[in-house]
Structure 1
Amino acid sequence: MIEQLQTTTQRIFYPDSDGQPMADNTKQFRWIVTIKENLELLFVKDSQVFVAGDLLWYPVQGDNKIRQAPDTMVVFGRPKGDRGSYKQWEEDNIPPQVVFEILSPGNRLKKMAEKFKFYERYGVEEYYVYDPDDNELIGWLRSGDDLEIIPEMNNWVSPRLKIKFQLSSDNLEIFSPQGDKFLTYVELNQLREQERQRAEQERQRADEAIKQLEEERQRYAALSALLREKGINPEQL
């Protein structure tokens, strides 16, 4: 009987896609990519932090219907690397500790309630939901078996990620533990270009300084030669 159950379990197919789009609009997509990529950068040197976006998470072996695809999830204690899906029983049974969802006009209350119960039941420690249209950020923190709402999200620091959320009247900003703002891909490229231009200007200034020193050296050499022609030792002046 045990052998038959194992064979049945092995035959279960766990799809890598649920057929749903990653995002419904450009704003939602931009926020998903920004949070996911900045978290990748934040933990780039930690080989045991896995960050993924829109990846199906299967928490229960043998049941391919129990699943969610968080917009972004972070798993501490699992190695980086490509995966078609996150099968928890193949990952030392470690669930994602932090999950982000970005709302779009197409999100329905029933669907969001189902996600909340899923994350609460299967071990998520921190759950954040951001509505970019209304600029509303809600967070929950695990307490025992429950996810309890965080009373104030402005200036909240994630216990796991150590990132800080700053919520103004019209915008959300997220900062790394070092105080660096989470930037979009375009903003990161603009920052890199500014750094490249600054480095080029520094190089040009250094080249100009070297050129001026060389001209001074040549003038000094010419003057020394002229003095020697007149029988004057420049070293004794």
Structure 2
Amino acid sequence: MTISLDCEILYPDSDGQPMADNTLQFRWIVLIKENLDLLFADQPDVFVAGDLLWYPVEGHPEIRVAPDALVAFGRPKGERGSYKQWEEDNIAPQVVFEILSPGNRSGEMSKKQQFYDDYGVEEYYIYNPDRNNLQGFCRTESGLRAIEEIQNWTSPRLGIRFVLSATILELYRPDGRGFLSFLELEQRAEQANQRAQQERQRAEQERQRAEQERQRAEQADQQAELERQQAEQERQRAELERQRAEQADQRAEQERQRAERLAAQLRALGIDPES
């Protein structure tokens, strides 16, 4: 146990009590505290803590309580041995949570509720996971008053929504995402990683198919070009053959004309060209 010294008055960092009485209570404390950390991770002036002693009055270390989870708006993040309110611009935690266990007594919880009422808490939530029972209190002009309809209640400060199903409390962030345990977050992250890997594989397959199509199209273009060239060669050969045939026809015509002239000359000389 570490002990801090402030004007010769000791403000212990621990009250010697365990954080939780059982695994179920501990699991809920961690679930709420860590998800609140995630919710306000990008806001440097929101401090979230679990099982941290809160001293509201300087000089009175006996006046203290350790909420299972607390949120203080307007206070920087960082490590603390305890929450000494006079060192925190006299800002009291605005929201606190208590997770009940079978060891909690009604008198003890009444004292805590009075403490939170006396020292400025704006919202106070109590959840009993064994009985799946949720209570909430919100500050009015006359102090903390019970929230009459807690089902689907949205916290004014946190923006989170409380939904009591038949068996369990469900908490939802302002964006609609539910509070998840570390295991669930890891499973979601692994599933997301697998989906991303599958998408990468599908994208690579599509790229390969596109490349194959491109290559086939290129081959088809090359084949078409080859066939065009062959057709052009055939046309040129046909044209050449036509020209040769035409030349042969011309030569034959010339030979015929020479033969006719020769025959005419012979007949003029009285010679029968047919004899």
Moved more, 218-227 or 110-119: 218-227
Match of 1:167 in 2: 164
Equivalent in 184, 188, 194 of residue 181 of structure 2: 184
Equivalent-residue separation in structure 2 for 1:13 and 1:23 (angstroms):
25
Match of 2:56 in 1: 59
Equivalent in 194, 207, 212 of residue 210 of structure 1: 207
Match of 1:32 in 2: 29
The verdict on how the C-alpha distance between 1:43 and 1:232 changes in structure 2, with shifts beyond 3 A counting, is: farther
Scaled by the length of structure 2, the TM-score of the pair is: 0.79
- Whichever residue aligns with residue 174 of structure 1, its letter is L
Q: Secondary structure at the match of 1:162?
A: coil
Q: Percent identity?
A: 59
Q: Which structure has more helix as a fraction of its residues? A: 2
Shift of 1:128: 0.4
**Number of residue pairs matched?**
226
Equivalent-residue separation in structure 1 for 2:6 and 2:92 (angstroms):
20
Q: Secondary structure at the match of 2:20?
A: coil
Q: Aligned runs of 1:148-167 on 2, under 5 Å? A: 148-167=145-164
Match of 2:8 in 1: 11
Match of 1:5 in 2: none
- Whichever residue aligns with residue 146 of structure 1, its letter is G
Equivalent-residue separation in structure 1 for 2:150 and 2:157 (angstroms):
15
Q: Secondary structure at the match of 1:14?
A: strand
Q: Which has the higher contact order (CA 8 A, sep 6+)?
A: 1
Deviation track 1:190-225 (CA, whole Å, cap 9, x = no partner) reads 111111111111111100000011111222222333
Q: Secondary structure at the match of 1:166?
A: strand
Moved more, 216-225 or 181-190: 216-225
CA root-mean-square deviation:
1.6
Equivalent-residue separation in structure 1 for 2:201 and 2:51 (angstroms):
45
Equivalent in 214, 219, 223 of residue 216 of structure 2: 219
Q: Secondary structure at the match of 2:12?
A: coil
Scaled by the length of structure 1, the TM-score of the pair is: 0.91
Larger radius of gyration: 2
Equivalent-residue separation in structure 2 for 1:56 and 1:145 (angstroms):
26
| Divergent runs of 4+, >4 A | none
Q: Secondary structure at the match of 2:144?
A: strand
Q: Is the 8 A contact 1:53 1:72 kept in 2?
A: yes
